[in-house]
Copies of this chain bind each other. A is one copy, B any other.
Amino acid sequence: MSESPRPEGRSLDALRTVTFEPEIAPHATGSVLVSFGKTRVICAATIENRVPRWMRDQGVEGGWITAEYSMLPYSTLDRKSRDISRGKLDGRTVEIQRLIGRSLRAAVDLKKLPGKTLWLDCDVLQADGGTRTASITGAWVAASLAVKKLMEAGELEENPMADNVAAVSVGVVDGTTRLDLEYVEDRDADVDFNVVMTGDGKFVEVQGTGEEATFSREELDALLEVAGKGIREIVEMQNAVISES
């Protein structure tokens, strides 16, 4: 292991330590503090008993899922100004919260959430790379805990959770394909992929970027391979935490 070029000698295809701490925010319907190494995100699911205006206006049936993401000001080594101080969300935040929402909707049967909006809030407590994929992974756990509580309370007739949704980042750094980049790797990556998959191994979203660089088809194939391995491991951990709660 000592030959690995990664921080702390981690294998190229190894995840950081992943943990889930449920019920971090008891006033939410479901919540979890998810950690990928030093990256820690509070994920909370709350229920609103109405759907967005566009659904009501268009008469769309079922429910909706919407996500919000923020980095707490003290999550980074240099304090990050709050969104409200700048008066608007930055582009990166908008992209991330749209991605979280889309990812969860892909594996939830919205028809089985009639008249409800499931809010997924992801607030980064500590940032060390991979906050968006940790957010998706944790948001699925928070949503599952919330659904479990609603089912037990008789507020939902059918379970809308069709399958797991989990995500991980992969990238090419110094010519090596690596799983679950931490910040110092992410900063130096030539290629950066975020991959979202379901429990049965289907893709939900693939976003790959070569910022000021490009990548070949072979690199793409290798990146998807290692992402799949990581996500299978994450899904097992998600299922463990849900069954224990």
Contacts and interface: CB of A to CB of B under 8 A. Distances in A.
Contacts of A82: 68, 70, 83-84
Contacts of A88: 84, 88
Contact of A121 (B48, B72, B98): B72
B126 A27 contact: yes
A44 interface: yes
A88 B125 CA distance: 23
A205 B209 contact: yes
A38 interface: yes
Contacts of A102: 209, 211
A136 to B, nearest CB: 13
Contacts of A202: 210, 214-216
A206 B224 contact: no
Where chain A touches its partner, the secondary structure class is mixed
What are the 8 closest A-B residue pairs judged by CB atoms, nearest first?
A202-B214, A44-B74, A28-B74, A83-B84, A46-B79, A91-B94, A206-B208, A25-B74
Interface of A: 24-28, 31, 38, 42, 44, 46, 48, 68, 70, 72-77, 79, 82-85, 87-89, 91, 94-95, 97-98, 102, 105-107, 110, 119, 121, 123, 125-127, 198, 202-217, 220, 224
B72 A42 contact: yes
B77 A27 contact: yes
Nearest to A211: B102
A126 B210 CA distance: 30
A27 B106 contact: no
